[in-house]
Structure formats: C-alpha cells, structure tokens
A and B are shown apart, each in its own frame.
Chain A
C-alpha cells in the first residue's frame, strides 16, 4: 500500500525540481497524445521546443519570444502577489482589456497631435484602467465579503463586451471604411510602442516586465509589505496577530495585479497588436495564471516560466502550420504543464511511503 506522509520540513530540493519534472512529464504524455493523433512525437516536441529557438527561421521567432513573454510575465507577477496572500484575481484578462481600452483611448484622443508626453499619458491611463477594473471585485470583497474569484472572472466577460462595443463604436476608425477596429497606433508615431532596437522584439512592455520582476523580488524578500503578503498566505490568523490589515492587503494586491495587467494590455495594443479590435485579447490574462504557478509564485521563476510558455505558444503555432496539429492539442499540452506541476507539488510537503498503513 502506498500512502502520503507529511514531511516535517518542506523539501527545498523538490520545490526547485518540480517545474523541471513537470516539463519532462508534459513532454512524455504530450508525446503520447501526439502519437494518438498520428504524429511523430519526437518531431512534434522538437518543433515546439527547438524550432523557435534554433531552427531555420529562429531570427523571426526569437523576438516573438519577448513579445509573447512580456505580457505573460507582467501579468503573472501581479497575480503572484495576490496568489501568495490567498487573494485570487482570476480576471486579469478583463483588466488587460480595460488597460488596452483606456490606454488606446487616451492616445486616440490626441490624434493627430504629436508630442513626447502622449505615450507616458497612455501608460498611466492603461495602468489606471486595469487598476480600476480590479478594484471592483476588491471593493466588493472588502465591503460586502463577495468572492473575488467569481466577480473578477465575470468582469472578464463584461470587459469583452466593452471591447466589442468600443471597436464597433466609440473607438472605431473613422477612416476605416466601416470595418470594426480603431486606428492603427503603429501608424501614429507619438502613440506607437515601437521596438527599442529595431527587430529585437524589445519594446517598452519588455522593459516594464523586467522592472516588475525586480520590484516584486525586492518587495517579497526585503519589504514589510511583501512579508505581510507571505504571512497572510501561510497563516491568516498569524498575519492578523502580527498587525497586517487584511482589507488594505486585498486592495493592494488586487490593485497591483490590475495595474500590471492593464499595463500589459496597453503595451500590447500600442505595439504588437497596433489597434483595438473585437478579438484583441488572446488569453494572456488566463495563461498568466499558469505562468504564475509554473514559476512557483517566485519572481525569477515567473520570468523563466513566462518565456517557456511563450515558447510553447510559438512552437505550437509552428506545429499547427507545419505538422497540422490541431490548436486544441496545443492547449491540452499547455494544460498538462499546469496539471503536472500542481500534482508534483504535493511532494514538496509530502513524501510517499510504501508498506502497510497504521490504523488511526
């Protein structure tokens, strides 16, 4: 008989090893999935993990890694602060949309005026939009005790309706021949979030993601607020005893994750995407939840996990076009990653024991 036994101390070795083990297990079971779909598993996995980095067209894919990784890391860093404290903002996708709408709206309000101050104003508006959208579930939670998981999730769908309304109405390009979608910000110099080094994929969002990683690292390891976040997640009563104000912590964590998601939306709409369209959001806000956990809610881990996730996105696209793998298979593959991570996570705190169990 096999049973689980709680370790006296959480195992550091396992805590570090689980992400790697999860990746390996995902490759094995993903490979089986690809066999079942009639594809060669080795080629499929090589296409997903190898091709974007070192393949023939890597010069094109590598910048994509930064472009796709930056919003994931930026959003996941914000989410991880709340997740560490047991505050579950599941609605980053909505905050991402609202950030993009606020930011793009700010920029388009100045069109066709040019000025150095326009982009900074858009950044502020984008962050504010995301923050505002996250404050709705935060306020309802601290005031009425509603569940932030449900409220933030439902607000994603509200935000999507807003997005549709905006791209068909208020923000629609007056010179766009009636097609839905706003003006293209890539063609509006003062509002364009261009690559800092042409062709590198390195736009302001990448810089913001790096700053967020450093900021979160210092906050969590050195600052009282970070300590309050960690204690609240570990033992809420002990946190209250130590003087943490739970209300303020909810407002801070929700606000921070909303702010960063909003910024991610702004950098995306003003850069790689270029315009507000009905299908502007592609699920970064949800994928960032996986990234946050894959990175063990640790800033450096999230940076690596964000890049890995971006890799599976890009590699998945290549596999779709080159090998004809269905998009759903790629999503299952990404889902497996989170599944194995959470399952293997058990072994940080528990170990397997073989032999007959003791009664009672």
Chain B
C-alpha cells in the first residue's frame, strides 16, 4: 500500500433548496480499504456517493483520485475512472438472462459467448456462484445482487460503492457477500460500504466515517468501537433501549389453522399452511426476506383478503370472511408496510387519514354521517402523543417525512386500543430515536395485554421486541421459537438459508 489515498474528498458541499445535504464533507479512502459510511436516513450518505459516482455535481469542494483531480460529469466518466456502484434497488430486466442484462449495461459489450465466459471466470474467482444463462426473473434477491456486483467487477473497479447491500439478504447470503468483499479488498480494491447495520460494519470495515445532518461528526475504527457508541454518534443523543417487564402471556387471542390463500397480485406469494397461536401480552416476531408472503399475511389478517372462515380464529371466533371494518370492530388492527397509498392516502389531510381507520372505533361516525371535528381531535391526539412533526392535522400526508408519517400511522392504530395489532415493517426508514419510541409503544401495548404480530426485515428489531420468533419463507411459516436464545445461524436457517445456494469457495 502507498500513502496516497485512492480517493480523497475535501470540503464537499451540496445544497438543495431548503436543506444542505452535504456540508464540507472530507473523507479519504486508501487502496484496499473497506470504509463504512454511517448515518441515519437523510444524513447525506446518498448525496455523497452520488457525487462520487457523477450523478450529482458538488457546489463546492474537490475530489482527488490517486492524487489527481477527479470531477466526473456523469456516471460513465466515473466508471471510466474506476468507480463501480451497486445500488440498493436493482436495475435488471426480469425477462432477460444474466448475461443479457450485464451486456445491456456495458459500453462495448463483447459477444454473448465471450461475455458468459467472463462472467463465469469472475464468479469463480470471487466466490459468487451464478450461471450467466439463467433468467433474472427466477433469481433470488441475493442472486440478483450478485448480477449487479459482477457487472461492476467486469469493469475491474478500483473503488466499489455498495449502498445498503445486505437489506435484502439472509444471514448466510451476507456471509457469502462478505467473503467476496474481503477478497476484493485483499486484491487492492477499495470498498465504500453504506449501511446502518452496525454489527456488520464492525465485522467487515477497516474504517468508518459517520455523517449526521450532512456533516462529518466522527470517524472511528469499527472493530474497536462498540455498536452502541457508533449509534449514539449517528443519532447525536443517548439511545433509550426499549424495556419491558417479563410477563407470562395470557389466553390465546389469534389462532391461525393451516392458513392457505392465493395472493391477490400476479407476482405475489401464496400463503401455505400457516399455523400459529398468539396470546394476550405476547409479541410474535415474523422475519424473512421481503416477498416471501409478508404482504399477503398482513392482508389476510387485516381483512383485505378473505379466506376460508375457520382458518383464522380471533378469540375463538371465525373471522376469515369479515372485511376490515368488522374486524376493527372486534379489535383487530393492522398497519401495512407501504405508508403512502396503502396505510395512508397521500393527498389527503391527516384528519382525513385519521378517519380512514378510526371511524368506527373512535366514534367518528354516526349512522353514516362523519364527525370531522372529532376526527381532527383524534388526529391531534396522535400528533401530540407520537411526536409527529407537522404544522397541523390539516396538512397532507405526503408532506410528512417518512419517519413522521410512520409514527402517525402506527400511532393511529395504537391509540385505538387494539386487542390484536399486526404491523409490517413498523420502523422502516425511521430514524433511530423515532424507531426506539415506536418499539417502546408496541411493547407498552403488549404490557397492557394486546397480542402483537410484528412482521419485519430488521432482525435486530425482532430480537429486541419479540417473545417468540418465526420466519416466513416461500409463504410458509416456520414453527415459532422463543426469541431469547436464538442464534443468528439458527435464524438464518429458519429464513431459508442461502436459498439453496452453496456457500462460496474462497
């Protein structure tokens, strides 16, 4: 290794109307270094890497690559200079094969045969098992990510940027990815790794830069810093860990008996033979990689999707054929994953959105006539108790930030005193302190005797609040197990392992 950093950023600044996304950010990455970029949503991580990748032009500051000035005008220039990027959301065509997809993204793509050979070589070298002839539509999320990584590696990058790469992977797939990244690093490729999963960063990265509100607030060596310290640097305050008193669960509230149902959407996952019980005061955590039946399970419980009556028992009563409102009347409340357009109507005010699910239980409606005054009070109550940052209940739902809308949507259900609350991704895209308060609210509900089903992709979250844990895989639910003594390996196996892929031979 030399002393010249591969990439040296000095005083990078980028302002958007109303917000400074990056305020004089400096950062150096040595060749072969795995460098973490840490920060909450909105801290400016994405803006920073977009500048490096030529998608956004900085207002001020300079970048140097190997000691020479570097100012890519577009991603093509950045790629030519040796920067590769794997985005969080894949840009692949389902109907094409792996090789065709990769060819589409190349400047001078070789003949498909030659390219397939190159793909096989790269995938062997870096332990990324992938056949170039497979159709992308059949691949798991982990395999799709490999397509994106190989697409970058074919250009032999000197710097590889990875944006939240593990959010779609099982623990076993994460292991495969890490082995590949370590091998790349050993060969001298620098990696800029964006994540907010602290344990991963401690396991993988050599150095870390922490951003908060667009500014660098700290640097650390992850292996020598505790996850808690890093989290507090990210948030800027001392974190409250949600707490609850241990309690023996009460009688069964929800019982699923061989719940099977076809998905309502063409690309959905059918539910297959799901049997489970949830008791009063208990939190059942359901993990699994996205798209394995989470949305369908929520729809079956909320009443958006009707099932054979006897498959869903609520307090001993068959509810499979009841729609959402009769179920709300019984005390079954739900909060879907997609905030805008599903849990809330984007262009409607918060008052109207409070009416959306609160009409029956909060007495906002009498004989079909709506009481807007009461709805407004209910909205104000949610805003006050869940610390929703908004000028008032008359504002449109879409004007709220993701985290604030999430607090509103969860608060709306929590305040209706549910007997059973089902939430999907309760803290998705929410900053750490808001996430902690949402989790605390869920635990408080359980404390008061509500039965909870928490569906989430965030394993740390599930381990923190669940009494029992089960995983959804291909629409099947594993038998639930007590959460406190599960290891990461066991969870990974419950989630379906590495989707039948062999572990990398590195």
Contacts and interface: CB of A to CB of B under 8 A. Distances in A.
A245 interface: yes
A234 B304 contact: no
A241 B57 CA distance: 42
Given A243-B324, A360-B50, 5 more contacts: A235-B344, A240-B324, A358-B56, A359-B57, A359-B74
Contacts of B398: 8
Interface in A203-253: 222-225, 227, 230-231, 234-235, 237-243, 245
Given A234-B348, A242-B324, A223 B341 contact: no
Contact of B342 (A222, A223, A227, A241): A241
B399 A222 contact: no
Max chain B CB contacts within 10 Å: which of A10, A231, A243?
Answer: A243
B140 interface: no
Contact of B56 (A231, A234, A360): A360
A218 to B, nearest CB: 9
B341 A227 contact: no
Nearest to B400: A8
Contact of B356 (A10, A222, A238, A245): A238
Contacts of B357: 241-242
- Which 8 residue pairs of A and B lie closest in terms of their CB atoms, listed nearest first? A243-B325, A243-B324, A235-B345, A360-B55, A242-B356, A237-B342, A234-B345, A238-B345
Contact of A241 (B304, B368, B369): B304
A359 B324 CA distance: 43
A9 interface: yes
Interface string B325-341: 10010000010101011
Interface residues of B, number: 38
A231 B352 CA distance: 9
Contacts of B328: 243
A237 B399 CA distance: 19
Nearest to A10: B347
Interface in A21-54: none
Contact of A10 (B304, B370, B396): B396
Interface string B345-385: 11110001001110100000100111000000000000000
Interface string A349-360: 000000000111
A240 B368 CA distance: 18
Contact of A222 (B16, B57, B369): B369
Interface in B300-328: 302-304, 323-325, 328
Contacts of B345: 231, 234-235, 238-239
A245 B323 contact: yes
A220 B329 CA distance: 24
Contacts of A243: 303, 323-325, 328
A237 B347 contact: no
30 contacts: A8-B396, A8-B398, A8-B399, A9-B396, A10-B347, A10-B396, A222-B369, A223-B368, A224-B365, A224-B369, A224-B370, A227-B352, A234-B346, A234-B348, A235-B344, A235-B345, A238-B342, A238-B343, A238-B344, A241-B304, A241-B324, A241-B336, A241-B343, A241-B356, A243-B324, A243-B328, A245-B323, A358-B16, A359-B74, A360-B50
